[in-house]
Amino acid sequence: MSFPIHRPRRLRKNGAIRKMVRETQLTPEDFIYPMFVTHGRGVKKKIQSMPGCFQRSVDEIVKEAQNVYKLGIPAVLLFGIPEHRDEKGSEAYSDKGVIQKAIKAIKDKVPELVVITDVCLCEYMSHGHCGIVKNGKILNDPTLELLAKSALSHARAGADIVAPSDMMDGRVGAIRDALDAHGFEDIPIMSYSAKYASAFYSPFREAAESAPQFGDRRSYQMDSSNRREAIKEVALDIEEGADIVMVKPAMCYLDIISDIKDTFDVPVAAYNVSGEYSMVKAAAKLGWIDEKKVMMEILTSIKRAGADLILTYFAVDAVKELNK
Ligand code: PBG
């Protein structure tokens, strides 16, 4: 394997040859587009820390869902911003909740678009944590029932896939049981299996108004130093019935994506989270990087690492770039 017999540059000679030997190609089908639903009508409110992203009322969400579908993006992920927050996250599993309304409206107008719902309580809780809180502690087992109720209400409203993001132990099994007991045995679970306690979520917490009011999420989300533990988390979720497993965030966790892809035989999703998005937007605004090129490089690297699906706020821009 030595020079001058081998000259890797031969295959980099021009664009046509480079394209022929390219190992990773992004396609619109790779993407899932996250969106934020809020109450009201005709609302399209800018999210300051995530330029290009909005809180949208149900009518506006439907319009955007139509655009997304036309571009060839197969799926959206929905987050809800409730009218009221309380200690039990009541709107998370109310049939009149904002998410439930959005699911119905999208499935009514764009039935072919796959609607995935984030199943979590933090947006709906007065304290902003992902579980029931007692004496400053986030309780695991009592939370499972509320998560199962939420997933069930999403399925009833017409969701195609439910995606638990809370990181309570045993939630996948609890959700699977509840769905099966009510005739939704064909609704897949996409589990946020290896979700790290990350500083990259802060723009999202502005978007979803879900910042914890005390402490942080380190007693339930994973420690970012841990690699082997991700394998354990994914194995547990698959055992409990997860159909798709997710690694989150993506950019600083490409090793985890690669490990999971090599170890398991279920589809692997990766979440290119809000902070990863906002950093690119901010640096581009300052003229320090080329936004479109950096975006495509990041998304390609996530796929190259092994992701079969990429959840990203860049989905619409990336597909426009692919269509150029
Ligand atoms: C809810 C949830 C969060 C994200 C997705 N689902 C926030 C969190 O865990 O604090 C983050 C998404 C992003 O940063 O883009 N638990």
CATH value at residue 70: 3.20.20.70
Q: Considering the domain boundaries, does residue 276 fall inside one?
A: yes
Number of domains in the chain: 1
Q: Which atom of ligand 1 is nearest to the CA of 200?
A: 14
Asked whether residue 47 is domain-assigned, the answer is: yes
The domain in which residue 88 lies consists of 24-217+226-322
Residue range 275-295, pLDDT digits in tens:
999 999 999 999 999 999 999
Q: Which residues contact 215 (CB under 8 A, 6 or more apart)?
A: 129, 136
pLDDT in tens, the chain (324 residues): 799 999 999 999 999 999 999 999 999 999 999 999 999 999 999 999 999 999 999 999 999 999 999 999 999 999 999 999 999 999 999 999 999 999 999 999 999 999 999 999 999 999 999 999 999 999 999 999 999 999 999 999 999 999 999 999 999 999 999 999 999 999 999 999 999 999 999 999 999 989 999 999 999 999 999 999 999 999 999 999 999 999 999 999 999 999 999 999 999 999 999 999 999 999 999 999 999 999 999 999 999 999 999 999 999 999 999 999
Q: Are 234 and 259 in contact (CB under 8 A)?
A: no
Residue 197 Cα distances to 127, 165, 194, 257, angstroms: 17, 12, 10, 16
**Please, where are the H alpha helices in the chain?**
15-20, 58-70, 98-109, 141-157, 171-181, 202-207, 228-240, 254-263, 274-285, 291-305, 315-322
User: Is residue 146 situated within a structural domain?
Assistant: yes
Q: Tell me whether residue 189 is in a domain.
A: yes
Spatial distance between the Cα atoms of 252 and 187, rounded to a whole number of angstroms: 31
* Residues pairing with 119 in the sheet: 164
Q: Is residue 2 part of a domain?
A: no
The DSSP call for residue 191 is E
CB 53 within 8 A of CB 33: no
Q: Give me ligand 1 centre to Cα 156, in Å.
A: 24
Half-sphere exposure of 14 (CA within 13 A, CB side): 1
Helix (H, G, I), strand (E, B) or coil at 46: strand
CA 126, CA 129: separation in Å to the nearest integer? 8
Whether 13 is covered by a domain: the verdict is no
Which of 210, 217, 310, 313 is the best mutation target for the ligand 1 pocket, counting ligand atoms within 8 Å of the beta carbon and taking the most? Answer: 210
The answer to whether position 57 is within a domain reads: yes
Residue 8 in domain: no
Pocket lined around ligand 1, Cβ cut-off 6 Å? 118, 120, 122, 130, 165-166, 201, 204-205, 217, 273-274
What pTM, to 2 d.p., does this model score? 0.97
Going from the Cα of 245 to the center of ligand 1, the distance in angstroms, rounded, reads: 16
